[in-house]
């Protein structure tokens, strides 16, 4: 009964060496930051996807371009990423139209949409690098804590006349907790990164397709 109590997770953490405890604390901080990034990025991507679908439905319903542009620039409602891309292209098209060179007008509108597209992609990809780093580095940080703890456990055996499993097991168990916490921090970050990267790639394809289709529409508007 006492042996089981001594090997409880809380007891192992409190009895671990200072270095191992610092490693565990760092991994807990990384895990909390990862979950914060996962929830915030998940909500942001879901909102962007819903706004994109809503604007595509409105755009292809046959609404007038000028009416859509007035709605986008009125500030009466929050605009989504695709609507901001549309607004950038339409603003540049209106500014350059009538200056004589139809090709330059279309190229200017396309460049404006590309610049807006890049800004939107940069915003969508924020925190992805952190999730990738947390997912790849956390297991190694936990492994460092494990190696350090095992080294400390075996060093302590040198002072014992007779080494038994009961004397070495607590030290090894303390060290392995660091690896477990590292995996706990890593796995959600890796899964979330892959999921978000896939969703962002799909949104990117939708944005690029819209830019090309809207450019064709503008070409007929000259």
pLDDT confidence of residue 156? 67
**Residues 6+ away with beta carbon under 8 Å from 54:** 80
Q: Give the whole-angstrom CA distance, residue 142 versus residue 211.
A: 46
Mean pLDDT calculated for residue range 23-30:
92
The answer, yes or no, to whether residue 60 has pLDDT greater than 50, is: yes
Q: Give the whole-angstrom CA distance, residue 158 versus residue 61.
A: 79
Express each pLDDT in 77-124 by its tens digit: 788 999 999 999 999 998 888 776 778 888 999 999 999 999 999 999
Q: Please report which confidence band the pLDDT of residue 72 belongs to, taking 50, 70 and 90 as the band edges.
A: confident
Mean pLDDT calculated for residue range 32-50:
95
Asked if residue 205 lies in contact with residue 79, where contact means CB atoms within 8 angstroms, the answer is: no
The overall average pLDDT reported for the chain is 86
Q: Where are the domains of the chain?
A: 16-221
Express each pLDDT in 139-195 by its tens digit: 999 999 888 888 877 776 666 666 565 666 667 777 788 888 999 999 999 999 999
The answer, yes or no, to whether residue 136 has pLDDT greater than 90, is: yes
Q: Give the whole-angstrom CA distance, residue 153 versus residue 20.
A: 12
Predicted TM-score (pTM) of this structure: 0.82
Q: What are phi and psi of 214, to 5 degrees?
A: -70, -35
DSSP symbols for 93-121: HHHHTTSS-HHHHHHHHHHHHHHHHHHHH
Mean pLDDT calculated for residue range 45-64:
92
């Amino acid at each position: 009964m006492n042996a089981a109590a001594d090997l409880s997770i809380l007891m192992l953490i409190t009895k671990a060496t200072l270095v191992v405890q610092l490693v565990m604390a760092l991994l807990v901080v990384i895990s909390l930051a990862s979950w914060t990034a996962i929830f915030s990025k998940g909500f942001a991507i879901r909102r962007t996807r819903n706004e994109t679908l809503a604007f595509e439905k409105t755009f292809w319903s046959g609404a007038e371009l000028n009416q859509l542009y007035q709605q986008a620039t009125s500030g009466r409602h929050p605009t989504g990423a695709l609507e901001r891309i549309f607004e950038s292209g339409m603003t540049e098209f209106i500014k350059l139209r009538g200056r004589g060179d139809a090709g330059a007008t279309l190229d200017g509108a396309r460049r404006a949409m590309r610049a807006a597209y890049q800004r939107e992609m940069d915003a969508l990809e924020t925190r992805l690098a952190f999730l990738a780093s947390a997912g790849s580095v956390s297991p190694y940080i936990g492994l460092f804590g494990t190696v350090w703890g095992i080294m400390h456990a075996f060093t302590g055996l040198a002072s014992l006349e007779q080494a038994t499993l009961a004397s070495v097991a607590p030290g090894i168990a303390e060290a392995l907790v660091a690896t477990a916490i590292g995996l706990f921090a890593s796995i959600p970050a890796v899964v979330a990164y892959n999921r978000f990267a896939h969703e962002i790639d799909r949104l990117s394809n939708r944005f690029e397709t819209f830019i090309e289709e809207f450019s064709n529409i503008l070409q007929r508007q000259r």
